[in-house]
Structure 1
């Protein structure tokens, strides 16, 4: 089975990302920073906040659905806020999504929040609500289940160091994954954690039997050239001992986001 985890950057590099996903067609895609604007008939909208201006694909979620027509899609919104087309405002939902090939049954799932609760009246100031999603899939090739969970971790304007809220989010992610799993299940936890490799978040995840593949296999960061700041780590993928890792890679080319896709082949 092939799993891809990626922060989609709101579809900013849409023209590169869509062909890449069509060609890659992973069995499971865990995608963060997903935009869903049901009332918009525009292709691009703009996000404005505190002097930050970012182009966003208005219906990024639906575009990924069309790129992966053989997948079941689950969108997990964290908040609804404003996106703009000139002076016209649109209500837009923002969160993460999971895409699972239709031939792979989802036999359990749970959506939750690792920080805060759903914000219906604007994105608000940081730290904003953060969602997570876990699925339990049945792997017919191997004859037993696998649990896959992902989150988009808190963004703090002063860096990626440990905070009390970040340690709480790690515990909530661990609890979410465990609540879907059964004894003996293979388990994979991934996402844009927004923490440093030395974070105590990994102590919490190690306590449920998970080990990170990014840092233990010598990858020097998960950011592309589109990310201009220091600190090259953000995204991680952890597995338990029941997962047989066939291959794992941090994809450098093509650059389809300011984050690198993480791709795991496992059985």
Structure 2
């Protein structure tokens, strides 16, 4: 089973990302920063937050779903705000998506929030709502279940230091992982956590037997050249002792986002 985790940056590098995901064809794709704009009539719209303007692929979720036609796609919105088409606003949802190859039946799933709740009328004040999606699959080839959880950690405008909100978020993520998995399950927890490697988040996740593969295997970061700010870590993938890791990589080439894809084979 091949599991990929990626912050898709709203599809800003759309062509590169679609080509890569289609060619890699992971069994499970855990995708963050996903845009879903059902009323869009154009392929590209703008996200605006003060002086920050970022091109967004209007129906990024559907684009990725089309690139993985043999997968079951689930979109999990965290908020609905607006994107901009010139001087016009277009209602748009933002959140996570999970893509599971059809040969792996989904035998359990939970969609929940790790910070705040669904924001229905705008993206909200920072730090904004953040959700998580957990699936429990059955692997017929190996004859066992696998539980996978991913999230996009809250963004604090002051930085990636530990805060009471981040620690509460880690507790909620831990609770979600223990709810979806059963004793003996192979458990994978991943995402863009928006914390540094020394964060107390990882101590909380260790309480349920999870170890991070990015830092424990000596990778120097998870950001690409498109990210120009200080700090090279954001994305992590953790496993419990029941998981046998065949291969794990932080994929630096090709660059498909300002985040590197994390690719795990178990």
Give the TM-score of the pair, scaled to structure 1: 0.99
1:219 Cα offset (Å): 0.1
Matched, 1:21 2:16: no
Aligned to 1:118: 118
2:162 is aligned to 162
Distance of 2:139 and 2:15 partners within structure 1: 32
Q: Map 1:1-267; keep pairs closer than 5 Å.
A: 1-266=1-266
Structure 1 residue 144: Cα displacement = 0.7
SS of 1:264's equivalent?
strand
State how far apart, in whole Å, the 2-side matches of 1:225 and 1:12 are: 14
Find the aligned partners of 2:208 and 2:247 in 1 and give their Cα distance.
Answer: 23
For residue 87 of structure 1, report the CA deviation from its aligned partner: 1.1
Q: Distance in 2 between matches of 1:65 and 1:41?
A: 18
Give, in angstroms, the shift of residue 88 of structure 1.
1.4
Cα distance in 1, alignment partners of residues 99 and 25 from structure 2: 10
SS of the counterpart of 2:48? strand
Alpha-carbon shift at residue 216 of structure 1 (Å): 0.3
SS in 2 for 1:42: coil
Secondary structure in 2 matching 1:215: helix
Q: For residue 163 of structure 1, report the CA deviation from its aligned partner.
A: 0.4
Q: Cα deviations across residues 105-124 of structure 1 (Å, max 9, x unaligned)? A: 00000000000000001002
SS of aligned partner of 1:46: strand
TM-score, normalised via structure 2 length: 0.99
Work out the number of aligned pairs and report it: 266
Instruction: Quote the Cα distance in structure 1 between the aligned partners of 2:29 and 2:36.
Output: 17
Deviation of 1:15 after TM superposition, in Å, equals 1.1
Q: Which SS does the other structure have where 1:171 is aligned?
A: helix
Q: CA deviation at 1:54?
A: 0.3
What's the CA shift for 1:141? Answer: 1.2
- Secondary structure at the counterpart of residue 34 of structure 1: strand
Which ranges in structure 2 are unaligned for 5 or more consecutive residues?
Answer: none
Distance, in Å, in 2 between the alignment partners of 1:51 and 1:88 is 17
The runs of 4+ residues in structure 1 deviating greater than 2 Å are none
**In 2: Cα distance, 1:205 partner to 1:157 partner:** 24
CA RMSD after TM alignment: 0.5
**1:161 positional shift:** 0.5
